[in-house]
């Protein structure tokens, strides 16, 4: 859209666009956490680790065309969840440091992975790409994102968006994250409209949809307007029913007279990525 003044060629993360649409002030807080390489809390970290571990099943399918054992997935989960193992001789400091809590989440993660493994191991599928980053033009800017999985199932080509929990409410036909990956796939590979699969890990659920050219025009307009607001630093709270669950609820109540971000982080317990 040419009438809006956008710094041409700037690069944005698709997550930036999505967070901003959810709430401009939430986007602002997230972008500060990102600069500090922090993630909101241990639950979000667990969700990331389960998803990263699930990718290992598809990496093996891509390379060997064979399903690995569950033990292989469990090993990968442990390596990601416990990058530094506690020394056996001196476990006490780790109990004080939240290690027991970490173990509780590890059990949840392992259960989710087992359910995922049972679901995927029987499936006839041909994996084309896993966890593949991309950059795509969208109007005057570039967007970066990631295809979680591209595969053929029963001779149907699909692009999979993997999430941990299924969304409580979803407008499947207009969900902007699904539109974004379909837009990127269509523009990068010049293929007709592909099947989109919103794949939830806990509980397992797969739901399908597609997008068309009108959705892509709409998407370009949305991106242009969001990017203009980001470049003008136009942040404001978008109060909704989601606020009760928002990690930044505390900071938001103090806005615009916020204490230093470090204090907010200490209060809410953000963890290293």
Q: In the complex, what is the shortest distance from the CB of residue 81 to ligand SF4, in angstroms, rounded to a whole number? A: 28
Q: How near is the Cβ of 239 to ligand SF4 at its closest, in Å?
A: 5
CB of 251 to ligand SF4, least distance (A): 7
Q: Which two tokens stand for residue 218?
A: 């709409």
User: Quick one: which of 101, 111, 173, 242 contacts ligand SF4 (CB under 6 A)?
Assistant: 242
Task: Give the binding range for ligand SF4 (CB under 6 A) out of 104-112, 145-153, 195-203, 239-247.
Answer: 239-247
Q: 273: part of which helix (H) or strand (E)? A: none
Only one of the segments 30-38, 59-67, 94-102, 248-256 lies at the binding site for ligand SF4 (rule: CB under 6 A); that segment is 248-256
* 252, 258, 261, 271: which one binds ligand SF4 (CB under 6 A): 252
Which of 137, 195, 186 has its CA nearest to residue 161? 195
Residues 4-33 that bind ligand SF4 (CB under 6 A): 23, 25-26
Alpha-carbon distance of 101 to 124, in angstroms, equals 38
Q: 16 with 148: CB under 8 angstroms?
A: no
Which pair of tokens denotes residue 38? 């922090």
Q: Least distance to ligand SF4 from the beta carbon of 101, Å?
A: 24
Cross-strand pairs, 132: 147
CA angle 115, 269, 25 (to 5 degrees): 95
CB 10 to ligand SF4: min, Å: 24
| Three-state DSSP string of 147-188 | EEEEEEECCEEEEEEEECCCCCCCCCCCCHHHHHHHHHHHHH
Contact between 239 and ligand SF4 (CB under 6 A)? yes
Residue 119 or 238: the one with the smaller Cβ distance to ligand SF4 is 238
Q: How far apart are CA 191 and CA 207, in angstroms?
A: 21
Taking the least distance from each CB to ligand SF4, the nearer of 218 and 255 is 255
**Which residues are near ligand SF4 by CB under 6 A?**
23, 25-26, 237-239, 242-243, 246, 248-249, 252
């Amino acid at each position: 859209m040419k009438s809006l003044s956008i710094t041409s060629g700037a690069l944005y993360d698709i997550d930036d666009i999505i967070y901003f649409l959810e709430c401009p002030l939430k986007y602002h807080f997230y972008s500060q956490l990102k600069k500090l390489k922090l993630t909101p809390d241990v639950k979000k970290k667990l969700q990331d680790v389960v998803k990263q571990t699930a990718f290992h099943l598809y990496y093996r399918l891509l390379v060997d065309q064979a399903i690995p054992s569950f033990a292989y997935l469990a090993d990968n989960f442990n390596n990601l969840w416990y990058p530094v193992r506690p020394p056996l001789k001196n476990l006490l400091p780790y109990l004080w440091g939240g290690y027991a809590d970490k173990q509780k989440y590890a059990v949840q993660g392992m259960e989710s992975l087992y359910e995922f493994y049972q679901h995927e191991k029987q499936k006839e599928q041909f994996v084309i790409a896993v966890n593949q980053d991309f950059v795509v033009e969208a109007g005057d800017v570039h967007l970066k994102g990631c295809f979680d999985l591209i595969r053929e199932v029963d001779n149907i080509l699909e692009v999979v968006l993997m999430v941990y929990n299924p969304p409580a409410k979803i407008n499947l036909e207009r969900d902007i994250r699904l539109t974004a990956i379909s837009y990127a796939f269509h523009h990068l590979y010049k293929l007709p409209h592909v099947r989109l699969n919103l794949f939830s890990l806990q509980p397992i659920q797969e739901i399908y949809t597609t997008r068309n050219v009108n959705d892509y025009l709409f998407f370009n307009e949305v991106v242009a307007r969001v990017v203009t607001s980001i470049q003008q630093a136009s942040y404001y709270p978008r109060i909704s029913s989601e606020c009760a669950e928002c990690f930044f609820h505390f900071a938001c109540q103090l806005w615009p007279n916020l204490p230093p971000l470090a204090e907010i982080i200490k209060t809410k317990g953000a963890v290293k990525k």
